Amino acid sequence: MSHDPAQSPSGPAGSERPAPSAEAPFLELLARGASADAYEQPVLVARAEGEPPGRIDALEHAKGLALRVRADLEGRRRREAELSALFETAHDLAGLRDLGAVLQAIVQRARSLLSTDVAYLTLNDPSRGDTYMRVTEGSVAARFQQLRLGMGEGLGGLVAQTARPYVTADYAQDVRFKHTRTIDTGVHDEGLVAILGVPLMLGPHVIGVLFAADRRARVFEREQIALLGSFAALAAAAIDTANLLSETREALGELERANEIIRDRGDVIERASDVHDRLAELVLRGGGVHDVAAAVSQVLDGTVEFADAVTAPDKPLDASRADGHAVRDGDDWVAAVAAGGELLGALVLRGHPGLDPVDQRTLERAAMVTSLLLLARRSASEAEQRVRGELLDDLLDARDRDPRLLRERAARLHADLDATHVVLAARLETPGADAEHEAAARRRLWSAASHLAATRHGLAAARDGGTVLLLPLSAADRASDLARRTAKHLSSAVHEQVTVGASAPVEDLANRTDTVAAAYAEGQRCLDALRLLGRAGEGAAAEDFGFLGLLLAESRDISGFVERTMGEVVTYDRRRGTDLVRTLDAYFASGMSPARTKDALHVHVNTVAQRLERIGRLLGPDWQSPARALEIQLALRLHRLAGAISG
């Protein structure tokens, strides 16, 4: 049989076109980068046109292969973009200038590549033991941007604590994390649902957490977690680099400062040599402590003052004395002036906080020179002190009754016997001390008291195992205040407790020499009272002991006691025409019962209450305490007795 070319599929005339391959439509889709949904179209068209099952199966197989190729191409493109972003970030890190800008770039790229709504980074705060928000990208809530997370709190706190990445598709419903109101409120304000967090590691240590988050439920893929981890590694490297740069700058700064110190060292040594020469000259020509202070002020370019042991700041003074070096006190420097275990005062350099070590030693040497000058002056003044003691002994013993001679002797010692004075009896409290120690302490007490008397234009003498002082009293001062200050000064000077009893103010000592002896006896009674009351080491006068002071005082100042105890009430009655004194008397007579008091006064109980309230405001809130009540009752009786006598 002959072959008919017209029937041949491959013949030139009337021949059919060969059927397209199953892969062809999918290659076109791959070429134009169509979406995944478009790959269903060739299969759907073939089914609609009734293509044979073999053709349909071939298309399905080709579609699967094409989708795999598409996914592989997409993955390669995504990986290329990720690597490009990582390369750019590494490039930024290599040219690090601003740590904040690099960290901001990292969270921006992480947000872009992971296609999340928000990306942010937190850093650990070792001093507070928590982690805080450092940079954010895409955040809109201010409270979220200021969050701090405790270790183990929230997803970020758990990442920071465990050094492992954590991811949640729905943070609010995830029970794996420790929820707190602060964190949950911040997350809610930002509207976050899905959160991925990876640790920032420097070696084995976690220094922070990098996050990517969405405002909708989402499952983060393994590749995305690895990508965010790569960005976290770059962020940690950026932070480490910034810290190294900061340390390098600090090291360079320290080197520059060291160079400056070396350059200045010659000037400092020259200043030290200058002050050495000046101090040597002062010692040779018998200069005083203020001359030393002035010389050091010029050399150190500051203000140096000498302060005695009472006015110098206590803590720096004690520290300098114990350490043997000048001690900084705020913007000042304090160098103790001491000799033979006795604290004489201090040199204080004002307003010079940045003192060079060599200048510090210069101040310390000046303090040593000052102590030598003080000792020399003390040796020279011991004769004067003995003269002062002899004059006070004469006043106490009333041996020299010529007022003119007494005034002349006092004037040579820069004392004024016509001024108001207080006699103070001072005694050491050295329990368990051996005889040698006690004798040394008494010598220090006499020396310190003599020095105080000389500086205050008074007199001092050793007497009855202790020391007696005669010190002038200013118009604005009180005997009790002077006693307390003297006890503090002497205790500090001798490093032992010194108890001081003071007399009432005395006058006209040149004409009434027996007054000094009587005042000294009063001071001794006050001193004994302090010791009996367990107040050793304090200072007080008779006026400090309430009604007991009437027994201690030489003059029995009854009116003064009444005035101190209830003078405010008496004055109020006199000015207002009220009856508070009578009410007070009736109140105590009625056993402190308001009800019985109103019967005794024939007034309403509310009137009694109002008067007692007024009395409380005048006498103070503790006026009904047992001790105060006893003094007030005694004052009432003395007041009533004084009124009866004067009437």
What pLDDT was estimated at residue 506?
A: 85
Whether the pLDDT of residue 114 is over 90: the answer is no
Give the whole-angstrom CA distance, residue 99 versus residue 105: 10
Highest-confidence segment of 341-355, 448-462, 549-563:
448-462
Q: What is the mean pLDDT of the chain?
A: 79
Whether the pLDDT of residue 433 is over 70: the answer is no
At residue 432, the 3 state secondary structure works out as: coil
Mean of the pLDDT values across residues 370-378?
Answer: 70
What pLDDT was estimated at residue 92?
A: 61
At residue 423, the 3 state secondary structure works out as: strand
Q: Could you give the C-alpha distances from 238 to 106, 118, 135, 262, 359, in angstroms and in order? A: 10, 21, 14, 36, 43
Higher pLDDT, 633 or 271: 633
Give the whole-angstrom CA distance, residue 95 versus residue 455: 71
Highest-confidence segment of 23-37, 115-129, 584-598:
115-129
What pLDDT was estimated at residue 5?
A: 42
Res. 2 pLDDT band, cuts 50 70 90: very low
Give the whole-angstrom CA distance, residue 506 versus residue 388: 19
Give the whole-angstrom CA distance, residue 354 versus residue 424: 44
Which residue, 393, 385, 456, is CA-closest to 419?
Answer: 456
Exposure on the CB side of residue 129, measured as CA atoms within 13 A: 2
What pLDDT was estimated at residue 292?
A: 77
Q: Is the dihedral of CA 283, 288, 289, 293 positive or negative?
A: negative
Residues whose CB is less than 8 angstroms from the CB of residue 48 and which lie 6 or more positions away in sequence, other chains included: none
Q: Is the dihedral of CA 26, 29, 35, 40 positive or negative?
A: negative
Res. 384 pLDDT band, cuts 50 70 90: low
Residues whose CB is less than 8 angstroms from the CB of residue 387 and which lie 6 or more positions away in sequence, other chains included: 409, 412, 413
Whether the pLDDT of residue 466 is over 70: the answer is yes
pLDDT in tens, 205-229: 888 899 999 999 988 888 888 888 8
Mean of the pLDDT values across residues 457-482?
Answer: 87
Please state whether the predicted TM-score (pTM) of the whole model is above 0.85: no
Whether the pLDDT of residue 74 is over 80: the answer is no
Residues whose CB is less than 8 angstroms from the CB of residue 647 and which lie 6 or more positions away in sequence, other chains included: none
What pLDDT was estimated at residue 7?
A: 42
CB-based contact 368:279 (threshold 8 Å): no
Tokens in use for 506?
């005395």
Q: Could you give the C-alpha distances from 615 to 100, 420, 547, 599, 637, in angstroms and in order? A: 69, 35, 20, 19, 17
Higher pLDDT, 246 or 428: 428
Residue 424 pairs in a beta bridge with 469, 502
What pLDDT was estimated at residue 277?
A: 67
What pLDDT was estimated at residue 11?
A: 43
What pLDDT was estimated at residue 4?
A: 44
CB-based contact 481:419 (threshold 8 Å): no
CB-based contact 483:529 (threshold 8 Å): no
Res. 271 pLDDT band, cuts 50 70 90: low
Whether the pLDDT of residue 591 is over 80: the answer is yes
pLDDT in tens, 504-517: 888 888 787 678 88
Q: Could you tell me the end-to-end alpha-carbon distance of the chain, in angstroms, rounded to an integer? A: 175
Res. 626 pLDDT band, cuts 50 70 90: confident
pLDDT in tens, 440-452: 788 888 888 888 8
Distance from chain centroid for Cα 477? 36
DSSP 234-289: HHHHHHHHHHHHHHHHHHHHHHHHHHHHHHHHHHHHHHHHHHHHHHHHHHHTT--H
Give the whole-angstrom CA distance, residue 514 versus residue 511: 9
Give the whole-angstrom CA distance, residue 235 versus residue 522: 82
CB-based contact 455:344 (threshold 8 Å): no
Res. 645 pLDDT band, cuts 50 70 90: very low
Mean of the pLDDT values across residues 169-192?
Answer: 91
Residues whose CB is less than 8 angstroms from the CB of residue 23 and which lie 6 or more positions away in sequence, other chains included: 62, 65, 66
Mean of the pLDDT values across residues 292-302?
Answer: 76
Higher pLDDT, 134 or 432: 134
Higher pLDDT, 601 or 633: 601
Whether the pLDDT of residue 298 is over 90: the answer is no
What pLDDT was estimated at residue 144?
A: 92
Give the whole-angstrom CA distance, residue 292 versus residue 282: 7
Res. 479 pLDDT band, cuts 50 70 90: confident
What pLDDT was estimated at residue 109?
A: 82
- Name the percent of the chain lying above pLDDT 70: 80
Which residue, 576, 574, 580, 619, is CA-closest to 597?
Answer: 580
How deeply is 615 buried, as exposed, middle or buried, from its count of CB atoms within 10 A (0-12, 13-18, 19+)? buried
Tokens in use for 104?
């901001």
pLDDT in tens, 11-64: 444 444 455 677 778 777 777 777 878 888 887 888 888 888 888 888 788 778
**Number of other residues whose CB lies within 10 A of the CB of residue 106:** 25
